[in-house]
Structure 1
Amino acid sequence: MLFLQRIPKLLRWIFSVVIILLVTMTIFRFIFYWRYNPPGKAFSGSAFLMGLRFDARIACIVGLAMMLLTFIPVLNPFKNNGATKFWNFLLPLAFAIVVLFYFIDFYHFDYLHQRLNASVLNYLQDAGISFSMMWQTYPLVKAAIVLIILLVAARFLFGRLLASYLHQDSFYKRRGVLLHVISFIVLAQIIVGKIVVRPGQFPLRWSDAFNLSDDFKSNLALNPFQSFFSTLSFRNSSFDIKKVKADYDLMATYLEVQKPDSSQLNFERNYSTADSAANRPNVVLVICESFSAYKSSMYGNPLNTTQFFNEISKNGVFFDRCFTPAYGTARGVWATITGIPDVESPSTASRNPNAVNQHTIINDFKGYNNYYFLGGSATWANIRGLLTNNISGVHLYEQGDYKASDIDVWGISDKNLFLEANKVLKEQTKPFFAVIQTADNHRPYTIPKEDEGAFKKLSFSTDSLKRFGFESNEEMNAFRYTDFGYQQFIEAAKKEKYFDNTIFVFVGDHGIRGSAGDMFPKSWTEQGLTCEHVPLLFYAPKLLQPKRVHDVCSQVDILPTVASLAKTPYRNNTFGRDLFDSIPAFQGWKVVPKQKFAFIIDHDVKTIGLISNQYYFLKNIKTGKEDFVSMLNNNPVEKNPQTDSTRNYLSRLTDAYYETAKYLMLNNKKK
C-alpha cells in the first residue's frame, strides 16, 4: 500500500481504468472461447497471451488518451471539480463502446465465422434488410437490455472509482513529473506491442495472430477493435458480383473449369496423375529480389551480370518470357503463393486481413515438410499472415533465427541465407517444399565485407551503365552479387544427397522499370513491361531435359507446373496453369492450341492488360484509354479482321480476368 501511495493518484486512477478495461476484454475472450471453441480442441494459452497483448494495446490507448486530456487543467478532475462530470460521462461511454464492439463481434463471428471487420459497414447500404435479418436471427432485445445494465454498472463503477481517488491524499509530489514520464513511456510501449530495437522490426500487427498456425487460435487471439480498424482502409476492397457472373463463362472456358457452375461461381479444377513419383522430388522455390530480365546475361546484356545463372539456364527449362502480375515484392510473393494477381490498390493483398485465408497448392504436396526462408522479418508487409495461416505446418526461418549476422535492414546476406537454408535442407529425411526469398538486390545494395575476397566488384562508365539498364555501379554490383549467391547455393547443394532429386525453381519477384534499349521491342520499354519481365527457370539436371521456352507465362503458373512435375495431385481454384501441358484444347468441335496469356496490373499508372506471344493489350481503368501493341517488333499492329478479333477477345478477357481476380482474392479459402 505504501508503494502505491508513492504513485500520484492521477496515475493510479488512469491505470485502474486500464486494468478494468483489460479484465473486461479478457472476460469476453473467455466467453468467445467457450461459445466457439471446436469440439475436442485443447485450451490455447498462446492464443490468450497473444490476445492479451492486443487487449492491452486497446486499454492503453484509452489510458494514454486520459493522460493527455488531463494535461489540460480544466479536464483534470484532481485540479478542477467540474471535470468530474465530464469523466463520469466519458468513461462509461468508452466502456459501452467496448462492450458494443464485442456484442457485434460475437454475432458477426456466429454469422460469418470471421472476427468483426470493417466490411460490416457495407451492410449499412441495405440497412433495412440487414436489420430485419438480425432482428429475426438474434436476440437483439436481450442484448440491448444487457448492454443497458452494463452501462449503468459502468457508470456506478467508474463514478465510485474516481470519487475514491479524489478523497485520497497526494504524496511525493516531487516525483510526480518523473512518474508521469515513465507512465507515458510504458503506455506507449504497450501500444507498440513490441520492443523494436533494430531496423526491420515491426510493431505488433494483426498478422502476428496468424503466426499461431491455426484458424481458430488466430481468431481467438484477435481483438475486434484491432481487426476492425486494421481492415478499415480495405472496406471497399470488394468485387462486383454481377460482373463476375457475366464474365464467368469466358473465364471458365479459358481456365478449363471441369464442372462449370455460374450460379456457384465454381473455378475449381482437380488434377490427378497417371502414376505417382516413386521417389517424390523435393522442391526449392527461390523468389529473387528485383530480378529484371533485361539487366541479366540470359537476354544478352553486354555487362554480363549473371554469368552463373546464364550457365545453369542452359541446363534447365528456361522460360524467357515470364511476367509478374504486378510490381512489388509483396505482390510477387502473393501471386506466386496463391496463384492470384494482387489487384488490391493502393495497398497490397497481403496487408488485407480479409484476404488472409487462402488456398495454396503447396498444401497439396502431401507428406512434405514445408519451409520458408528469408533474411529479414516476415512481419514486413504482413507477409507472415499469408505464410503461416495458409502453408500447413510451415517452418518459418527469419531474422534472428540464423547464426549469420545481419548486414542491413533486410537481415542476413543472400549468400548466408542460401547456405543456412542448405544446412537445414540437407538434414531432411522426408521430401520437402522450401521457399527461399532473397533481398540483397535492393537498396542499400550492401556487399558483405566477408565476401569481398571471393566476389570482385566491377566498375563501368556512367554511359555504359545507363545504356544497359543500371543507375550506378553499386546497383550493378548488387545485381551481380545475387548471381554470386545463386552460385554459392547450387555448388553447396550439389554436395548434398538431396540435390539429384530436387526441382529448383528460380523466379524474379518483379523487375525494375527502365530502358531495355535494343534488347527488346520498344513496347517493352514504352509500356513499362520491364517492371514485370523476369526470368523463370526450372533446374533439375537429373530430372528435366534442358530447353528454352519462348511462350508467355506468369508467376501464377509456377505452383501448378511444379505440382505436375512432381506428379502430385492438386486442386487449383485460381489462375495458374501447367506450363508443360501442351495438349490442344477443344472449343466447340474445333481443336486449337492452348492460348497462353499473362495478366498485368500496373498500380502506378492504373492499367490492366494481357500479354500474348504476339501482342500486349492494355487499358487504363480510370480513363478507359486502350493500347494494342506488338510484342515482336516496333511496327504498329496492322488493322485487319484477325487483329481486330484478337484485340476484342483480349479486351473482354482482360476485364474478366480483373473482375475474377478481385472476387477470388476474397473467395479462395482453404477447405
Structure 2
Amino acid sequence: MHFKNRYTQVISAVIFSILLFTTIRLFFYFSYFDYFGDLTFIETLKSFFMGVRVDVALIFTFTSIIWLILLLPFKFTTNKIYRSSLGVLWGAILGGIIFFNIGDILYFGFVNRHLNNELSLIGNDVGILVDMVVDFYLIQTILGTIFYFTIVYFFYKVFGSDIQNKTIRQREWANMLLVIIIAFIGIRGKLDGISFGTSDAFAVNKVSSGNLALNGFFCYYRGGTINCTDHSAIKSDQAVQVVKDNLASEKFEFMDNNFPLMRKLKPTTKNNYNIVIIMIESLSARYLDELAHNNFKVTPTLDKLAHEGQLFTNFYANGQRSQEGITTIYTGLTQPVGFENLGEGLELYNPSYLGEMAHKNGYSTLAMQSSDRGSFRVDKLSALAGFREYYGAEDIERTGEETGQPNYGAWDGNSLRFLSSKLKTIKEPFVSFCFTASTHSPFYSPGKQWEKYPHDVKSENGFLNTLNYVDTQIKEFMEASKKEPWFDNTIFIFTADHANQTKISNEKEVKLENIYLPEFHIPLIIYAPKLIEPKRTDIISSQGDIVPTIIDILGWQNNFTTIGSSLFDESVKNRFAFVKMGSIVGLSDYDGSIFYNFKNLISKKGSISDENQQLLLSIDSAQAHLLKNSKWMKKD
C-alpha cells in the first residue's frame, strides 16, 4: 500500500472511514430488516444517504484535528513513525465509536430506538452492565473487541505506508486554510442555521427513516440538550392555552394565571384510603391474557385482578426507560426532550411530587425496589418525591424457594414478602411503591417450577417464565394482604415501567384495533374490591394520569401540575397519551398516532385528528416553556 502524497493518504483514510460506517449501517439494516419494512426502496436509499451525512459529521468532528496535524507543512510530518502513530490514534477513535455503535445496535433490539442519554443513568449499575456484557453478549463483545483492534491495525498500516511525494511547498499554508474550511463545514453538517442534529436526519417523515440514518454515538454526542432542542413549534401562549383546554374538567380548577397549568381538586370528600403501587418491570399489555387474549397462560393472578378490578385496555407508558416511568408516576411529568433527568436537574423546575403530597395529607410513605438501593437511582428519585422510607435489595432477606442469583438485586418474591412485612407495621393511611426486577433481561430463571416454556435467558420464553414467577409472587402477596386489617381500605395499582421489547419468538399480537403505539402499550389494573366496581374501560390513558387519579380518589386538596387527567373524571372531553421515544415525542388518541422529531410531524398512523396533532406540539412547547421559566408549579 502506498500513496501519491499526504493529501491522498488522508482523503483515502476519510473514505475508508465512511465506508466502514456504511458497512455498520448495512449490518444494522439487515439485522432489523422487518423493522425497516415500511420504507420503500427509494426511501431506504435516501435514508442511507442521510446516514452518510451523519457519519461525515462524526468522522470530521473526531478526526479533523488529526488531519491538520498530518498535513502541517513541516518536514517532520512525513516521518513514518509520526504518521503511523497518528494512524493508531485515528483507528482508536473510530474503532471506539464503532464499538459503541455495535452496542447500540444490540440495544436497538430492546426499544426500537438508539441510545440517547442512557449511559448517564448507569449510576450504581455498572456491575450489572458488566455482567450483561460478559454473560448476555459475550460472543458479541469478543467479536467487537477483535473488530476494534482490526480497525486500529488497519489505520496503523494506512498511515505507515509509503508516500511517494514528500515535498513541502510554500502554497501548502493556503491549503491548510482550505482543509480547515472543509473540516468546519463537515463538522456542522450544513451551511446555515444550527449544526446538523438528530432531527435533521429524517430523509422522509417516518421514524424508521431517522433510525436508519442515525447511530447511537451521534444521538448520544449530538442529541438534544436543553440549549439546542427547539420547543417552539407552537407559540408558548397558544400552546399553554391548547393544553389547558384539553385538561379542563368539572372536577379540577386552574389556580393561578402565573402558573397556568397548575390545578387543584375542587372541594370534595376526603378518603383516607391506602395506596399500593406495584410497578412491574417490562410488562407489555400483550402478555395479559385477560387483556390481549394471546393465551400465554403466565399471568393468572393479574388476569384475575384485572377481571375483578378496573382494567384499562388503552394504557400507555410515557417513555421507554425505567427512570422515565418512575419519573412520571412520581411527578405526573413526562420528561421533555433535552431536559435533565429527575435527580440530575429536572427537580430544579419544581415538579409535583406524589410522596410529598401524601405526606402533607398525613400519609406514611414507603418506596422500594428489588434491585440495589441505588440502581436506576431510584433511591434518589424516591427521596426527591417525598417518600420517607426507602428500601432496596441490600435490605431484603432471602426467604423463598428461588434458586440461583438474580441479575438485579433480590428475587421479586423476597421483595414482595419484605413489602408485606413493612405494610404490617406502617402507620395508616399510607402510600407505598414497589418496583420489581425479575422480568428484566437477561431472564435468569428463579427455578424449574416456574418454567412453562423452554427457558432461555435471551428470548421471550425466558421472559414468559420470569413473568409467570412474578405473577405467582403477586398471588402470594395479595393472599397475605387480604388477611390484613387494612386490606378493605386499600387501593392496589398494578402497572409497568415500560413495555417489553424482547424480540417476539411467535406471531401472537395484541388484537385490539385501536392500539396505535404498541411499543408503549402496558397494562393498568386498579383493584379495590370493597371500594371500586369491576370494569373494563377502553379510554386512552397513560402513566401521566396516575397522579391526578390518586388525587381524585383520595380527595387531596393539593396544588399540582401534570399533563394528565383523573381516570375517574367523566367530564374530561379529550383523552390522549403523550409519549417520549428518545429524542422524539408522540401522541395517540382513539383514532391514530403521530410523532414529532422537532422538525416535522412523522409516522402518522390511523386518522388522528388535526386538533390532536396540534396538541402534541402544544404539550411539548408548553412543558418546555413553563419549566424553563419557572412557571410549572408554585413553590409552597
- Give the TM-score normalised by the residue count of structure 1: 0.55
Q: 1:390 to 1:360 in 2, by over 3 A?
A: same
CA distance in 1 between counterparts of 2:312 and 2:124 reads 45
Q: What's the C-alpha RMSD, in Å, of the aligned pairs?
A: 3.4
Q: State yes or no: 1:608 paired with 2:585.
A: yes
Give the conservation status (yes or no) of the 8 Å contact 1:342–1:349.
yes
Q: State yes or no: 1:322 paired with 2:315.
A: yes
Higher RCO (Cα < 8 Å, 6 or more apart) = 2
Residue 387 of structure 1: aligned partner: 382
Give the conservation status (yes or no) of the 8 Å contact 1:371–1:394.
yes
Q: 1:471 to 1:275 in 2, by over 3 A?
A: same
Q: Secondary structure at the match of 1:385?
A: helix
CA distance in 1 between counterparts of 2:270 and 2:478 reads 27
The one of 433, 439, 443 equivalent to 2:431 is 433
Which amino acid is 1:397 matched to?
Answer: Y
CA distance in 2 between counterparts of 1:448 and 1:517 reads 25
In the TM superposition, what is the alpha-carbon distance from 1:358 to its structure 2 partner? 2.9
Q: State yes or no: 1:618 paired with 2:598.
A: no
Residue 469 of structure 2: aligned partner: 481
In the TM superposition, what is the alpha-carbon distance from 1:535 to its structure 2 partner? 0.5
Q: 1:363 to 1:520 in 2, by over 3 A?
A: same
Which amino acid is 1:252 matched to?
Answer: K
Residue 597 of structure 1: aligned partner: 576
Per-residue deviation, residues 512-531 of structure 1 (Å, max 9, x unmatched): 2466745336885xx6x232
Per-residue deviation, residues 573-592 of structure 1 (Å, max 9, x unmatched): 12121111113x6xxxxxxx
Q: State yes or no: 1:246 paired with 2:238.
A: yes
Q: 1:258 to 1:238 in 2, by over 3 A?
A: farther
Q: 1:461 to 1:506 in 2, by over 3 A?
A: closer
The one of 656, 667, 670 equivalent to 2:618 is 656
Q: State yes or no: 1:369 paired with 2:364.
A: yes
The one of 258, 264, 282 equivalent to 1:290 is 282
Q: Give 1:172-251 correspondences, 5 Å limit.
A: 199=128, 236=227, 240=231, 243-251=235-243
CA distance in 1 between counterparts of 2:125 and 2:411 reads 21
Per-residue deviation, residues 452-506 of structure 1 (Å, max 9, x unmatched): 5xx43112699xx9xxxx9342222012122112112111111211111110001
CA distance in 2 between counterparts of 1:351 and 1:443 reads 25
Give the conservation status (yes or no) of the 8 Å contact 2:351–2:561.
no
Per-residue deviation, residues 604-652 of structure 1 (Å, max 9, x unmatched): xx54222112222333334x2534323xxxxxx4xxxxxxxx6321111
Give the conservation status (yes or no) of the 8 Å contact 1:617–1:647.
no
Per-residue deviation, residues 375-416 of structure 1 (Å, max 9, x unmatched): 22342333333221231x520111212223893341111111
Residue 390 of structure 2: aligned partner: 396
In the TM superposition, what is the alpha-carbon distance from 1:233 to its structure 2 partner? 9.8
Which consecutive unaligned segments of at least 5 residues does structure 1 have? 1-193, 202-231, 586-593, 631-636, 638-645
Q: 1:653 to 1:198 in 2, by over 3 A?
A: closer
Which amino acid is 2:362 matched to?
Answer: G
Q: 1:556 to 1:665 in 2, by over 3 A?
A: farther
Which amino acid is 1:253 matched to?
Answer: D
Residue 185 of structure 2: aligned partner: none
The one of 388, 413, 421 equivalent to 2:411 is 413
Q: Secondary structure at the match of 1:400?
A: helix
Which consecutive unaligned segments of at least 5 residues does structure 2 have? 1-122, 131-222
CA distance in 2 between counterparts of 1:423 and 1:369 reads 15
CA distance in 1 between counterparts of 2:314 and 2:513 reads 16
CA distance in 1 between counterparts of 2:473 and 2:627 reads 34
Per-residue deviation, residues 320-377 of structure 1 (Å, max 9, x unmatched): 11001111111111111111112335x9623532435532143223111100011223
Give the conservation status (yes or no) of the 8 Å contact 2:253–2:266.
no
Residue 303 of structure 1: aligned partner: 296
Q: 1:359 to 1:619 in 2, by over 3 A?
A: closer
Q: Secondary structure at the match of 2:260?
A: coil
Q: 1:369 to 1:649 in 2, by over 3 A?
A: same
Q: Secondary structure at the match of 1:350?
A: coil
Per-residue deviation, residues 263-296 of structure 1 (Å, max 9, x unmatched): x34211111442223xx21100111111101122
Q: Secondary structure at the match of 1:571?
A: coil
CA distance in 2 between counterparts of 1:569 and 1:665 reads 23
Q: Give 1:310-349 correspondences, 5 Å limit.
A: 310-345=303-338, 349=341
Q: 1:482 to 1:237 in 2, by over 3 A?
A: farther
Which amino acid is 1:430 matched to?
Answer: E
Q: 1:394 to 1:595 in 2, by over 3 A?
A: same
Q: Secondary structure at the match of 1:551?
A: strand
In the TM superposition, what is the alpha-carbon distance from 1:238 to its structure 2 partner? 7.1
Which amino acid is 1:349 matched to?
Answer: N
Give the conservation status (yes or no) of the 8 Å contact 1:440–1:478.
yes
Give the conservation status (yes or no) of the 8 Å contact 1:200–1:377.
no
User: Looking at CA atoms only, which structure, 1 or 2, has the larger radius of gyration?
Assistant: 1
CA distance in 2 between counterparts of 1:195 and 1:620 reads 31
Q: 1:461 to 1:270 in 2, by over 3 A?
A: closer
Give the conservation status (yes or no) of the 8 Å contact 1:239–1:663.
no
Q: 1:252 to 1:440 in 2, by over 3 A?
A: same
The one of 520, 534, 557 equivalent to 2:511 is 520
Which amino acid is 2:323 matched to?
Answer: A
Q: State yes or no: 1:628 paired with 2:601.
A: no
Q: 1:458 to 1:322 in 2, by over 3 A?
A: same
Residue 209 of structure 2: aligned partner: none
Give the conservation status (yes or no) of the 8 Å contact 2:255–2:263.
no
Per-residue deviation, residues 160-200 of structure 1 (Å, max 9, x unmatched): xxxxxxxxxxxxxxxxxxxxxxxxxxxxxxxxxx9999758
- Give the TM-score normalised by the residue count of structure 2: 0.58
Q: Secondary structure at the match of 2:395?
A: coil
Q: Secondary structure at the match of 1:493?
A: helix
Q: Give 1:47-66 correspondences, 5 Å limit.
A: none
Deviating 4+ runs (over 6 angstroms): 194-198
CA distance in 1 between counterparts of 2:254 and 2:553 reads 24
CA distance in 2 between counterparts of 1:352 and 1:662 reads 17
